[in-house]
Chain A
Amino acid sequence: MRKTSFILWLFGYCIIEIPRAFLEEFLNLCLRYGFNYYGIEMDEEKKRARVKISALEQRNILCACRIWQIRARVVLRGGLPSRASRYRGRWGLLVGAVVSLAVFFISQGVIWRIDVIGNERLSDEYVIGLLDEHGMSVGDLKSGINRDSVEQRIMIDDDEIAWISINLVGTVARVEVREVIDTEIKDKNTTPANLVSSFNAQIVGMEVYSGFLSVKEGDFVKKGELLVSGIYKEGKSPLRVTRASGRILGKVTHTIEVKVPLVQSKKVYTGEIISKKSLIFFGKPIKFFTNYRNLPISYDIINYVYAFDPFSLGELPISLSVDEYHEYEMKDIEISESEAMELAYEELRARIDKELPDAQILKKTLYGEIVDGKYVLRCTLTAVCDIARQVEFEIR
């Protein structure tokens, strides 16, 4: 029997059996009335022929066979209609098929993924978050997005982005960004201000962008002393006010003291974990359950997001989000001196980074001892750093 074409399968076909003696008559009938058949097969004994005909013509052919007195009977029905008839009455399957088809067609019109390109300093998440704030996110209808408006508003609102372009390629939004380079980031605050010293220091260098310089290199200044004034006078013109800015490098001696108690209150996880799972479908969370156990009094939340990436072809906008609530208790634990010292050094590093950022350290003296159940670490630093701090003032 010949291969069944898709169209024949779609509309259905049937196989009729005709005695060999009537085969020529049947073919003449088809020739006369223009009926189509799609294959003739003889049985092994060559007594019967099986002819495949379209289900649409079946009624007419069988009727004509009766008139021509050809004995024909349907032995098999095939194709989509006969398969579909097996599921008659099973409405769930039909509804499922209709829903999946609807989802398929609707999904063509929504954004499945946002790809960000051209960003170096800014993270993808930042740009995607920015787009979300301006009305464009995964799962949004493509037709509902005014790309020009989103682009314009982001360029106006965000100081970090110089230019942005949104291109829709199928269901993927390709967002191209150009970041503002550092020199373009200007201090938009225009409130008048002076630059004062943050430390007792000796000035070793200066770089003034605006304002009137009140000190010179080699001067010793106290903490809070004026370095660059925001009020100045040029020639005979009246007093002018500005926001003083610049860098004044000074050699400072700074002492940092870190205290680490030997008895510490620490988090101890009890091992009790409560998980809350939700499916994120096109950016919209769908919770699996609405009722969970009561949360413990003290807990840490760890959020895991498992993206669905079939065959590593790209992430789909379907992901599983799991929030794990880890219960903990605060317990007093005694630590050794070496452990306390380690913690003290860690804290010291953090404080140096915070209090003397970008400093060039010239000398560092450390002294540690245990005082009243605490490990005390004293650090005296001699460093060159920017000592200028802006202090705003009012004009009445």
Chain B
Amino acid sequence: MKKKENLKGKIRRALDIDDLVPCEDRLEMDGTNELCVSRVGRILFYSEDEIKLALRSYDLKISGNRLYCVSYRSGAVRVSGEIRTLEFERRAKK
């Protein structure tokens, strides 16, 4: 069954501004040294080898070396360092 599109989605599609106003969590990678994640809810774990971020519906685990993260007020987090793996863990609905 097709999911019903909400008003926000309709407007976004009509104006063709999907890229500017993303509806889902957005991840942008620049090589393997930088990762920008938008709509981060919380930082669950932070260490130089592993950073775990809570997104809307899943958690993102970033593993690597010399990791460092900078957060922005808009809810974006930029992780820099040597990124090796990205793991997505869907959270069980309460």
- Check if A34 sits within 8 Å of B43, measured CB to CB: no
Q: How large is the interface on A (under 10, 10 to 19, 20 to 34, 35 or more residues)?
A: 10 to 19
Give chain A residues whose Cβ lies under 8 Å from the Cβ of B72: 31, 34
B35 to A: closest C-beta gap in Å: 16
Which of A27, A30, A40, A46 has the most C-beta atoms of chain B within 10 angstroms of its own C-beta? Answer: A27
Q: Of B11-19, B24-32, B63-71, which stretch is located at the interface?
A: B63-71
A304 on the B face (CB < 8 A): no
A244 on the B face (CB < 8 A): no
- Check if A24 sits within 8 Å of B43, measured CB to CB: yes
Contact with B along A33-45 (1 / 0, CB 8 A): 1101101101000
Give chain A residues whose Cβ lies under 8 Å from the Cβ of B43: 24, 27-28, 31
Which of A23, A28, A37, A39 has the most C-beta atoms of chain B within 10 angstroms of its own C-beta? Answer: A28
B75 on the A face (CB < 8 A): yes
Q: How far is the CA of A46 from the CA of B47 in the complex (A)?
A: 9
Q: How far is the CA of A36 from the CA of B77 in the complex (A)?
A: 12
User: How many chain B residues have a CB neighbour from A under 8 Å?
Assistant: 16
Q: Find A24's partner among B44, B73, B75 (CB 8 Å cutoff).
A: B44
Q: How far is the CA of A40 from the CA of B48 in the complex (A)?
A: 9
Give chain B residues whose Cβ lies under 8 Å from the Cβ of A40: 46, 68
Q: How far is the CA of A4 from the CA of B40 in the complex (A)?
A: 27
Q: How far is the CA of A31 from the CA of B73 in the complex (A)?
A: 6
- Check if B69 sits within 8 Å of A27, measured CB to CB: yes
* Residue on A nearest B75 in the bound complex, by CB: A31
Give chain B residues whose Cβ lies under 8 Å from the Cβ of A33: 73
Contact with A along B50-91 (1 / 0, CB 8 A): 000000000000000000111111010100000000000000
A36 to B: closest C-beta gap in Å: 8
Segment 1-52 of A: residues with Cβ below 8 Å from B:
2, 23-24, 27-28, 30-31, 33-34, 36-37, 39-40, 42, 46
Q: How far is the CA of A40 from the CA of B71 in the complex (A)?
A: 12
Q: Find A27's partner among B48, B71, B73, B75 (CB 8 Å cutoff).
A: B71
- Check if A42 sits within 8 Å of B48, measured CB to CB: yes
Q: Could you give 8 example pairs across A and B, Cβ below 8 Å?
A: A27-B43, A28-B42, A28-B43, A31-B40, A31-B42, A34-B73, A40-B68, A46-B47
Given contacts A27-B43, A27-B46, A31-B75, 6 further A-B contacts (CB under 8 A): A2-B68, A24-B42, A24-B44, A24-B46, A31-B71, A31-B77
